[in-house]
Amino acid sequence: MTTARVEAEVRGDTACITISGEIDLANANLVQDQIHAAITNDVTIVMLDLSGLDYLDSAGLRVLFTLADRLRVLQMGLELLVAPQSAVRKAVELSGLEPLARLRPGPARD
Partner 1 sequence: MANSASAEEKLRRIGFVSDNALAHLAGDALLIELLERVRQVMNADTSVILLLEPGSRELVATASRGIENEVRQGVRVPLGKGFAGRIAAERRPVTLDRIDHTTVLNQLLWEKGIAALAGVPLIVGGAVIGVLHVGNLSARRFTDDDVALLQLAGDRMALTVQAHRAQAARAAATELQRSLLPTRLPTVPTLDLAARYVPGGESSVAGDWYDVFTLPSGWLGIVIGDVVGHDLPAAVVMGRLRSALRAYALETTDPAEVLTRLDRKAQHFEPGMMATVLYCTVAPAFDQMYLSSAGHLAPLVALPGRRGDYADLPIDPPIGAVRETRRRVTTVGLPPGAVACFFTDGLVERRYSPLDKGLDTLRDTVAVKPADAVCAEVMARLIGDDVPEDDVALLTLRRQSQDESGALDLVLPAVPESLKDIRAAMRRWLSAAGAGAEVTGDLLLAVGEACTNAVEHAYGPAGGSVALRLELQGTTVIATVRDHGRWRPPRGENRGRGILLMRKCGDEVRVEQTGDGTKVVIRRDLSREPAL
Q: Which residues bind partner 1 (CB under 8 A)?
A: 1-2, 22, 24-27, 55, 57-59, 61-62, 65, 85-87, 90-91, 93-95
CB 83 within 8 A of CB 53: no
Give the shortest CB-21-to-partner 1 separation in angstroms: 10
Residue with smaller CB distance to partner 1, 45 or 103: 103
User: What count of Cα atoms within 13 Å lies in the side-chain half-sphere of residue 38?
Assistant: 24
Instruction: Tell me the closest approach of the beta carbon of residue 56 to partner 1, in angstroms.
Output: 8
The Cβ of residue 65 has, within 10 Å, a number of other Cβ atoms equal to 16
Contact 44, 15 (CB under 8 A): no
Closest distance to partner 1 from the beta carbon of 63 (Å): 10
